[in-house]
């Protein structure tokens, strides 16, 4: 089950914001194809900055990001982003929001709506096509965000704390469905979170970042058998060990 | 966030005795309360006016009934309609000019740092300048004709229209812009599909506030430059001591301004319901 080819490579990336805050320093990482990797760390460790650098939304000061063997100079069609604050157009209904990536690419209306409908059903929002974002709960909004990212059919899905504004029950349900959905899709997912359980539950690979400036502190591969059901995973010894190991490391960063 | 502070502040300090007051305070209350309460409120106001007129507060203050009769007479003999044709002409020309050039400038300032650097100071100064003081200058340069009156409207209305458009553009949710870039939107798509729709509600509100300022501008111009239209009715009837007719003219311009702006606010709510608007 080990894929050794890395679809995303981060080489010596550093980022200092205007005003002198050093967010990231000399980060080197490889993200294996078809796996789910999480970037985990205390707040202010630059994990979102790193994700946005991989997305091509923020340029790094030093170092390079390579995606599928090409150096990144900006956003690309092989990467799709899921935003922490959902970033949905308030004046557009669910259908148009999900189809928005395709709309920007110039896909004809009928075609992009058909694709969007399929992905809306896939994330469990069938019947809400003509609803507006303000009529949806946080969990549903994030499903729209996920469907929009799936609709452009990118190989890599970048998720920036997608569940942080969603309540705990919705979050668990969504995590389970996300795993289920991604298992069939062969997508590479890079996922930013500050939840230890979420990282251990979802990930093939967990990247622990140290705070200010963010550097790679440890890489953990929980080695959980993915064919197990969600409740079994949460009782799995590998899962419990991973949670414990992560906490032992993160503990030292908590003031 | 709906009305940025400077335009509203500018509006308030000018609107003491003008139609704009109705625009900025009343409609929101009207919408909230019941129609019956609105009618009672009007009846009460006109009742107090009637009593105050009969008291009498002043020889120059007619009761409501006489004012109403004078208004009917002015409508009947066509003098009111004639006055409005000449008053609304420079107002409309001025607002259309501001609507095109002002919104254009505002959007330009919002999108480009260079345009912002060049033009923002001009509009900030215009916004702060007491317009009545500039009327003699306008008259000196452009005479007493239509041009001067249009300019008076433009000078008053342009700043709020430009500033609202500018702020609407600048306030665009950065996360939406980033989303557009992440999904490979071009700069053009970013402007057309994200920034302009986001700013639309604020731009429209700017046009509405601009019209409120335009009403002030045109009445000031008609009173200070040459008496024409509604300004002529007010000055003439005042000079011959026909106070009911003078008050009828004043009341009618207040009513026209208030109703127009109330209608525009309703239209704004219909076009940009708060739930789905960007800004």
ipTM of the complex: 0.89
In this prediction, residues A147-151 reach a mean pLDDT of 92
Chain B residues with CB-CB distance to A89 below 8 A: 176, 194, 197
Does the beta carbon of B1 lie under 8 angstroms from any beta carbon of chain A?
Answer: no
Which of A75, A86, A149 is the best mutation test for B, with the most CBs of B within 10 A? A75
Strands A36-40 and A62-67, by their bridges, are: unpaired
Cα(A140)–Cα(A170) distance, rounded to whole angstroms? Answer: 9
B193 vs A83: CB contact, 8 Å cut-off? no
B183 vs A80: CB contact, 8 Å cut-off? yes
The vertex-B34 CA angle with B32 and B39, nearest 5°, equals: 120
Written as one string, the DSSP assignment of A44-82 is TSSHHHHHHHHHTSS--SEEEEEETTEE-SS--TTEEEE
A3-42 residues touching B, CB cutoff 8 A: none
List, in order, residues 6 or more apart from B254 with CB less than 8 Å away.
B19, B22
Query: A198: closest CA among A172, A159, A224?
Result: A172
Chain B residues with CB-CB distance to A148 below 8 A: 183
- Token duo for residue B123: 């509009």
A57 vs B180: CB contact, 8 Å cut-off? no
Residue contacts between A and B (CB atoms, under 8 Å): 58
For chain A, how big is the Rg over CA atoms in Å?
A: 18
Q: Is pLDDT of A54 > 80?
A: yes
A117-126, A222-231, B10-19, B214-223: which range is least confident on average?
A: B10-19
What are the tens digits of pLDDT across the range A208-240?
888 878 888 888 888 777 777 777 888 888 888
Chain B residues with CB-CB distance to A75 below 8 A: 181-184
Domain ranges of chain B: 8-54, 64-277
Chain B residues with CB-CB distance to A85 below 8 A: 175
What are the tens digits of pLDDT across the range A65-90?
998 888 888 898 999 999 998 999 99
Model pLDDT, residue A103: 93
Q: Is pLDDT of B267 > 50?
A: yes
Q: Is pLDDT of B274 > 50?
A: yes
Q: Name which residue leads in pLDDT, A218 or B235.
A: B235
What are the tens digits of pLDDT across the range B9-25?
333 333 333 344 344 44
B276 vs A152: CB contact, 8 Å cut-off? no
In this prediction, residues A182-189 reach a mean pLDDT of 82
Buried b (16+ CB within 10 A) or exposed e, B195-209: bbbbbbbbbbbbbbb
Model pLDDT, residue A4: 58
Q: Is pLDDT of A203 > 90?
A: no
> Contact, A36 vs A182, CB < 8 A?
yes
Domain B64-277 has CATH 3.30.1330.40: no
Question: Which residue stretches of chain A are H helix?
Answer: 47-55, 94-98, 100-105, 109-122, 138-151, 168-183, 196-202, 230-235, 237-250
């Amino acid at each position: 089950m080990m894929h050794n080819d890395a679809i995303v490579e981060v080489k010596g990336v550093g980022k200092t914001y205007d005003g002198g805050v050093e967010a990231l320093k000399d980060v080197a990482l490889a993200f294996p194809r078809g796996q789910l990797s999480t970037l985990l760390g205390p707040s202010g460790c630059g994990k979102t900055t790193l994700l946005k650098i991989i997305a091509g939304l923020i340029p790094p000061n030093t170092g390079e990001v390579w995606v599928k063997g090409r150096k990144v100079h900006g956003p690309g069609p092989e990467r799709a982003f899921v935003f922490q604050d959902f970033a949905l157009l308030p004046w557009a209904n669910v259908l148009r929001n999900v189809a928005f990536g395709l709309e920007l690419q110039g896909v004809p209306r009928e075609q992009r709506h058909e694709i969007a409908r399929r992905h809306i059903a896939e994330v469990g929002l069938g019947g809400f096509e003509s609803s507006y974002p303000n009529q949806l709960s946080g969990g549903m909004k994030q499903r729209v965000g996920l469907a929009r990212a799936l609709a452009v059919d990118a190989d890599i899905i970048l998720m920036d704390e997608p569940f942080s504004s969603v309540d705990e029950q919705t979050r668990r349900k969504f995590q389970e469905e996300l795993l289920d959905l991604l298992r069939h899709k062969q997508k590479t997912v890079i996922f930013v979170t500050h939840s230890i359980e979420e990282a251990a539950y979802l990930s093939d690979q967990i990247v622990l970042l140290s705070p200010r400036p963010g550097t790679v502190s440890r890489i953990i591969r929980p080695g959980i058998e993915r064919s197990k059901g969600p409740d079994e995973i949460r009782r799995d010894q590998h899962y419990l060990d991973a949670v414990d190991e992560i906490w032992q490391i993160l503990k030292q960063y908590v003031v | 966030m709906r009305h940025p502070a400077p335009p509203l502040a500018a509006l308030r300090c000018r609107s003491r005795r003008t139609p704009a007051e109705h625009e900025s305070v009343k409609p929101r209350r009207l919408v909230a309360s019941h129609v019956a309460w609105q009618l009672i409120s009007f009846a009460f106001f006109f009742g107090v006016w009637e009593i105050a007129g009969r008291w009498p507060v002043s020889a120059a203050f007619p009761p409501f009934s006489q004012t109403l009769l004078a208004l009917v007479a002015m409508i009947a003999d066509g003098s009111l309609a004639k006055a409005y044709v000449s008053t609304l002409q420079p107002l409309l020309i001025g607002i259309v000019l501001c609507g095109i050039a002002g919104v254009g400038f505002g959007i330009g300032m919002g999108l480009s740092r260079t345009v912002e650097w060049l033009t923002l100071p001009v509009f900030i100064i215009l916004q702060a300048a007491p317009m009545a003081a500039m009327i003699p200058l306008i008259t000196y340069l452009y005479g007493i004709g239509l041009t001067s009156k249009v300019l008076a409207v433009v000078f008053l209305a342009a700043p709020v229209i430009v500033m609202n458009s500018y702020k609407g553009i600048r306030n665009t949710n950065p996360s939406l812009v980033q989303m557009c870039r992440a999904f490979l939107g071009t700069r053009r798509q970013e402007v057309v599909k994200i920034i302009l729709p986001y700013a639309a509600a604020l731009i429209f509100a700017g046009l509405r506030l601009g019209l409120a300022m335009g009403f002030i501008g045109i009445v000031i111009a008609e009173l200070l430059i040459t008496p024409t239209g509604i300004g002529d009715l007010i000055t003439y009837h005042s000079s011959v001591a026909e106070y009911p007719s003078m008050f009828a003219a004043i009341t009618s311009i207040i009513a026209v301004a208030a109703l127009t702006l109330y209608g525009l606010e309703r239209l704004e709510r219909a076009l940009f319901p708060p739930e789905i608007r960007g800004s």
